[in-house]
Amino acid sequence: MKGTYLGEFEEVVLLAVAIRSGDAYGAAIVNEIEQQMNRSVNLGAVHSALSRLQEKGLVSSEMGGMTAERGGRRKRLYSVTAYGRRALEEIRQLRNQMWDAIPNPALT
Amino acid sequence: MKPPCLATFLLHLFCPPHRAEELEGDLNELFQERIAEVGLQNARWRYVRDVISLLRPSLIKREKFEYSRPNSITMLRNYLKIAFRSLAKNRVYSLINTVGLALGMATFVLIAEYVAFERSVDGFHKNLPNLYRVLMDNNRQTYPQLAPGVAMVGKQQFGEIQDYCRIANGISDGIVTWSGTGKAAQKSFRETSTAYADGSFFSLFTFPLADGSLLSLQQPNVVAISETAAHKYFGDTRPIGKALTLNNQFGKTAFTVGAVYRDFPTNSDFRANMLFSLQTLASPAGLNGNDWARLDNLESNFIDTYLLVRPQSDYLALETKFNDFKKKLKPEDTEMIRLQPVKNMHLSRSLSDYYQTNGNLRFVYLLGGIALLILIIAWFNYINLSTAGALQRAKEVGVRKTVGAGNGQLITQFLSESLLLNLISLSLALGLISVLQQPFNQLTGRVLSTDVLLRGNFWAFTVGFLLAGTLLSGGYVAFVLTKFRPVQVLKGAISRVGQGVTLRQSLVVFQFSVSIALMIATGVMLQQLRHMQTQDLSMKLDQLLVLRGPDVGKDSTFKTRSGAFRQSISQLASVQAFCTSGSVPGNWYNFSADGITRPNPQPGDNQKTYAVVNADHRFLGTYGIKLVAGQNVTAAECDKPWNAITKVMINERAVEQLGFLSSSAAVGQKIKWGRDLEIVGVVKNYHHQSLKQAIEPIIFIPQTSVYYTTVRLTTEQLPAKIAELEGLFNQYFPGNPFDYFFVDERYNEQYKDDQQSEQIFTIASLLAIFIACLGLFGLATYMTEQRTKEIGVRKVLGASVASIVTLLSKDFLKPVAIAIVIASPIAWYAMDRWLQDFAYKIDISWWVVGLAGLLAVGIALATVSFQSIRAALMNPVKSLRSE
C-alpha cells in the first residue's frame, strides 16, 4: 500500500517507540536512537516522524500525567498500535525473506 | 540552568498552542541531560538547533477543531434568519415600517431627482467656468437686455474677453414659410421660440449639431434650426441649403438653412427652435428701417450678451474695468454693469421671471429639506417601534449574551436587521418611483428620471445616505438592547413598562411638528392663491378671446384690409364687443419708459418709470374697465400716427405718481413726454398683471393696433363662433396662421408656479401626516397590548369604556399638543416671509393654525382610538385569562 510505506528513519522511530513501550515520548526516543545507533538526532526530525506515523495510524498518543522533572510539563506518550506492530513484522519478514534468498557463496 | 530564552520565545511564536507544552518539555529534558553529557555551551547549541528543527510545516500546522467553528458568514446568516423571523412575527409593525420607509424613500428620491435636475441646468457647457452673462443693474432690479454695441466695445477694450455671443430672444418671432418644391405644398408656421444669435453661438455653448457647420451663423441670412423644426418643415429630406422665408417686424427676409442642431436638452434655459444669424441685421436691407436694432448702437437695450473670458481672468476686476469705462463714456448714466457666471444663471433669484422655466433656488432647497424631513419621520417610526418592541427581544439578547455574544456581535445583528428593513423598503420604493415618475413629472413640469441621479457622484451620495440612515435608525435600538444585563433579563426582573418613553415621545413630537407646520403652510398657500384668484380685478376677463395679429403681407393694402376686417367683426352677431391693443392683461405692457413728467417737474421726477399700453377707444369697454374721471379717447384720435397723438388716458396710480391732487384734477392737464400730451381721462386701477405685482402707473396711448384683437363672445356654441372668426381672418390676411387664446386662461397661467408649489406642499403634508400616523398606530398597538391585563383589572373594578379610552389616548395626545405649540410659531414666521413676495397678500388668520392643530389632534385621536376602543371593549375575562 502506498500510504503505509515506511521510510528508513520512520522505521527507526517506530522501533524506538516499541522498545520504550509505555514510556515513549519525544526526548526519550531521541535518547534511545542516539544510544542504539550512536548518531545525533534532531528533536524536530523525531517529532515530525512521530506525527507522520500517527497520521498513518501506526502509533497512537495520549497526554501523560504531570511529572516533576520537566518543570511540571506533561509528556505526550506514544504507543505502537496493532497495525503498527504488524507493519514492523511485515518489514522484518520481508528482510528475512530477502536474506534467505541470498545464495551462500555470495556472502563468503 | 536555563535554556536560551530567545529560542523558547521562537518556539512559542510558531508552535500551535496544543503542542507547545510537550515540545517544550522534551526540549527542556534533553537540555538538562546534555548539560551533564556535553557541557552547557554545547547543550545550549543543541537546544537552538532542536528548536529550529521543530519549525517545520508539519509541526506548525494548527490543530483541527472537532466542532465546526462559526465564522462571520454563518453568524450573518443566522442574523438574517432571525431578522426575517422577527419581521414575520410582528407583521403589523414590519408593514408599518416598510410602507412608511418606502413612501419616505420614494419621496426623497423623486425630490432628489428634481433638485439634481435643477442644479444641472446649463451645467453641461464645456466653457462653463469662463462663461458670463452681462447684466444691467439700475439699483432696483437687474435685467439682461443690453444694447448690442456693449459687447463689441467690450471686446475691443478688454483683452480678457476672448469672445462674445449676443442673443436677441423673441424679437425675431414671426411666421416662417417654406415654399416647397415640386409636389410638396407650402408650409407655414408661426414660430414663437426663435432668436437672432451671433456666429459664435455654437462655439461658446455646447449644443451639438446634427448636420451642417458650427460657424455657419457668422454669415448673414443663415438660419440654424432644431431637429424638431427640421422635421416639421422638411420631413425626411436634408434641410441644409434649403431656403426659408421669415416674416417678422423686420419685414420679409430670406434665409438659408446652414446647420441643424440637436434639440436643446431639457436641462437648459436656452429655448429656441430657430436661430437666425444676427449678422442679418448688420445691413440696412436686413434692418428694414428699424434703426433701433442697429448692431453697433449703445442706446436701445434688447439683446442678451454672453462673454467667454480668458481662463484665469478675474471677472470681478473685469466688471470694475467695464464700469469705469462706461462712466467715462456716459458720466450721467448711473446704471452698473454686472457679470453673472452662467453656472449661477438658472437658480439666481434676481431674474426669476425672465426665462420661462427658471428655477428658484430657495424653493429647490426648501423642497429638498421637506423630502429629508419626511424620510426622517419614517426613520423615526423605525426607532420608535423597535425600541417599544425591544422588550420582546430582551430574552433573545439575554440568551445570546450568556452563550457568549459580545456587544459588537449584537450591534452587528441589530444593524443588519435595520439594514434589511431599509433594503426591503428601498426595493419597494423603487417600484413606487417607477409608478409615480410620470405623475411627478407632470406636477413639476420637468422631464425627470433616475438618470439624473446617476450623473456624477449623486448616487454614491444617496447610498451613503441610506447607510447613514440605517446606522441612525438601527443604532439606538442596538445600543438599548446591548445594555440589557443577561442575569436580570433571564430572571424576568426587567421592568415591563419599556424604556425610552421620553425618547419615543420626543420623536413623536418632532414628527407631528413637521406635519403640522406643513399643514399650516399648505393652508396659507391655498388661502393666498384663492385670494389672488377671487380678488376683484376691476375688469371682466371671461369669454374674452384674443386673436394674434398677422405678420405676413404687410403691403400697401394692409391698412384697408385691417379696417375691413374690424368692420366685419363688428357686424358679427356673436360678438358683443371687441377692441385692439398692443398688450392684453396677463401679459407685460407694451414697454416701460421714464422721462414723463408734469410741466413743472420736481427733481427726480424724470427718473420715475411708467408702463405704456397701446389701446384703442374700445379697450375699456371690451374689458369692462371703468373710467373714474374725464372721458374715453375718440376713434379719430386712435387712427392718428404715433407722433401726431396729443391726448392720452392714465390710470389712478399714474395720477398719484405724476403728483396730481386727484383724478378729476388731472383731467385736462398736460404732461410732458418729449412733447405735451393732454390727459383726457383717468382709468380706474385694474390688475393688468397678476396680484404678485403691484399695480403700476400706466399711460394709455390711443392707437389702433394690429397686434392683439380682443373679442367678447356670447357663450353658446363657441367652436362655431371661433370657426366664423377664423374664416374672416383667413379672408383678409391670407398666409397667416390663425392663433388665439382666452384671456382668463392666460391670466391664470401667471399663478402656475404658485399652484405647483401649493400642490407639492399638499402632497408633502399628506405624506408626512400619513407616515407619522402609521408610527402612532404602531405605538398605540404596542402600548395597548402591554396594558391588556391592566385594562382587564380596571374593567373588573368598574371602569367605563369611555374612561379607558381616555386613559389610553391621553398619552398620545400630549406629544401632539406639544407639537402644535412648537410648529405654529415656526410655520407662522416662515409663511409670513413667503407672503412678502406678493404685492397683494392675505394676513395669516389664526384659524388656519387652529384648523391645522385641530386636524392633527383629530387624526391622531382617530388613529389611536382604533386600538384603544378595541382594548376597552374587550371582555375582561378573556384578557385576564390570557398568558
Average pLDDT over residues B754-775: 87
Helix (H) or strand (E) holding B407: helix B407-444
With bands split at pLDDT 50, 70 and 90, how would you rate the model's confidence at B457? low
- Taking only the tens place, the pLDDT of each residue in B232-271 is 888 888 889 888 989 887 888 899 999 999 998 888 878 8
With bands split at pLDDT 50, 70 and 90, how would you rate the model's confidence at B27? confident
Size of interface A-B (CB pairs under 8 A): 65
Cβ-contact B698, B573 below 8 angstroms: no
The cell for B597 is 413728467
From its phi and psi, is residue B4 left (phi > 0), alpha (psi between -120 and 50) or beta? beta
Cβ-contact B53, A43 below 8 angstroms: yes
The residue of chain B with its CA nearest to that of A27 is B26
Closest among B355, B315, B326, B321 to B145, alpha carbons compared: B355
Q: How many residues does chain A have?
A: 108
Share of chain B above pLDDT 70, in %: 93
Closest CA–CA distance from residue A77 to any residue of chain B (Å):
10
Average pLDDT over residues B123-130: 88
pLDDT of residue B354: 40
- Taking only the tens place, the pLDDT of each residue in B182-218 is 666 678 888 888 999 999 999 999 999 988 888 888 9
C-beta atoms of B49 and A26 within 8 A = no
What DSSP string describes B604-621?
Answer: TGGG--EEEEEE-TTHHH
Residue B506, φ and ψ in degrees, nearest 5: -70, -30
ipTM reported for the complex surpasses 0.90? no
Q: Is the dihedral of CA B68, B69, B72, B74 positive or negative?
A: positive
Residues of A in contact with B27 (CB under 8 A): 27, 43
Which range among B54-68, B513-527, B590-604, B636-650 shows the weakest confidence by mean pLDDT?
A: B54-68
C-beta atoms of B25 and A74 within 8 A = yes
Closest CA–CA distance from residue B62 to any residue of chain A (Å):
13
C-beta atoms of A44 and B54 within 8 A = yes
What separation, in Å, do the N-terminal and C-terminal C-alpha atoms of chain B show? 72
Helix (H) or strand (E) holding B535: none
C-beta atoms of A76 and B22 within 8 A = yes
From its phi and psi, is residue B90 left (phi > 0), alpha (psi between -120 and 50) or beta? beta
Q: Is the pLDDT of residue B61 over 80?
A: no
Is the pTM here over 0.90, yes or no?
A: no
pLDDT of residue A105: 67
Cβ-contact A14, A92 below 8 angstroms: no
- Taking only the tens place, the pLDDT of each residue in B568-612 is 888 888 888 899 988 888 877 777 777 788 888 887 777 788 888
Q: Which residue has the cell 430670406?
A: B254
Closest among B516, B96, B447, B139 to B264, alpha carbons compared: B447
- CA distances B212 to B148, B180, B191, B604, B842, Å, are 27, 20, 22, 54, 56
Residues of B in contact with A26 (CB under 8 A): 22-23, 25-26
Cβ-contact B667, B682 below 8 angstroms: yes
Contacts 24+ apart (CB under 8 A), A32-41: A37/A12
Q: How many residues does chain B have?
A: 883
- Give the separation between CA B151 and CA B172, rounded to whole angstroms: 20
Q: Which residue has the cell 438653412?
A: B257
Task: Supply the mean pLDDT for chain B.
Answer: 84
Q: Which residue has the cell 422665408?
A: B245
B441 CB-contact burial (10 Å; exposed 0-12 / middle 13-18 / buried 19+): middle
pLDDT of residue B165: 93
Closest CA–CA distance from residue B69 to any residue of chain A (Å):
23
Residues of A in contact with B33 (CB under 8 A): 27, 31
Q: Which residues of A touch B (CB under 8 A)?
A: 25-27, 30-31, 42-45, 47-48, 51-52, 63, 69-71, 73-76
pLDDT of residue B356: 35
Residues of B in contact with A45 (CB under 8 A): 53
With bands split at pLDDT 50, 70 and 90, how would you rate the model's confidence at B139? low
Closest CA–CA distance from residue A24 to any residue of chain B (Å):
11
The residue of chain B with its CA nearest to that of A62 is B22
Share of chain B above pLDDT 90, in %: 13
Give the three-state DSSP class for B307: strand
Closest among B871, B872, B856, B864 to B810, alpha carbons compared: B864
With bands split at pLDDT 50, 70 and 90, how would you rate the model's confidence at B482? confident
Average pLDDT over residues B409-438: 87
B63 in contact with A, Cβ within 8 Å? no
- Taking only the tens place, the pLDDT of each residue in A46-102 is 999 998 899 888 999 888 877 777 777 888 899 999 999 999 999 999 999 999 998
C-beta atoms of A43 and B27 within 8 A = yes
Q: Closest CB to B50: pick one of A44, A70, A71.
A: A44
Residues of A in contact with B18 (CB under 8 A): none
The cell for B329 is 463714456
C-beta atoms of A43 and B26 within 8 A = yes
Q: Could you give the angle at the alpha carbon of B17 between the alpha carbons of A21 and A40, nearest 5°?
A: 45
The angle that helices B846-873 and B752-786 make with each other, rounded to 10 degrees, is: 30
The cell for B532 is 389672488
Closest among B857, B763, B770, B821 to B525, alpha carbons compared: B763
Q: Closest CB to B49: pick one of A25, A42, A48.
A: A42
Give the three-state DSSP class for B308: strand
Q: Is the pLDDT of residue A1 over 50?
A: no
Mutate to test the interface with B, among A33, A42, A67 (most CBs of B within 10 A): A42
Q: Closest CB to B26: pick one of A27, A45, A63.
A: A27
Q: Could you give the angle at the alpha carbon of A94 between the alpha carbons of A89 and A99, nearest 5°?
A: 125
Q: Closest CB to A51: pick one of B30, B53, B59.
A: B59
Structural domains for chain A: 8-100 (1.10.10.10)
Q: Closest CB to B30: pick one of A30, A48, A75.
A: A30
Average pLDDT over residues B430-455: 80
- CA distances B179 to B185, B233, B300, B658, B754, Å, are 7, 10, 34, 53, 44
Average pLDDT over residues B512-523: 91
Give the three-state DSSP class for B873: helix
Q: Is the pLDDT of residue B513 over 90?
A: yes
Q: Is the pLDDT of residue B474 over 80?
A: yes
Helix (H) or strand (E) holding B196: strand B194-197
Average pLDDT over residues B682-686: 93
B54 in contact with A, Cβ within 8 Å? yes
B748 CB-contact burial (10 Å; exposed 0-12 / middle 13-18 / buried 19+): middle
- Give the separation between CA B97 and CA B481, rounded to whole angstroms: 19
What DSSP string describes B643-673?
Answer: GG--EEEEEHHHHHHHT-S-HHHHTT-EEEE
Cβ-contact B712, B544 below 8 angstroms: yes
Q: Which residue has the cell 391645522?
A: B852
Residue type, B867: Q
The cell for B724 is 366664423
- Give the separation between CA A52 and CA B59, rounded to whole angstroms: 10
- Give the separation between CA B425 and CA B474, rounded to whole angstroms: 14
Q: Is the pLDDT of residue B290 over 70?
A: yes
The residue of chain A with its CA nearest to that of B19 is A76
The angle that helices B361-388 and B501-534 make with each other, rounded to 10 degrees, is: 150
The residue of chain A with its CA nearest to that of B1 is A71
- Give the separation between CA B429 and CA B422, rounded to whole angstroms: 10
Closest CA–CA distance from residue B21 to any residue of chain A (Å):
6
Q: Is the pLDDT of residue B159 over 70?
A: yes
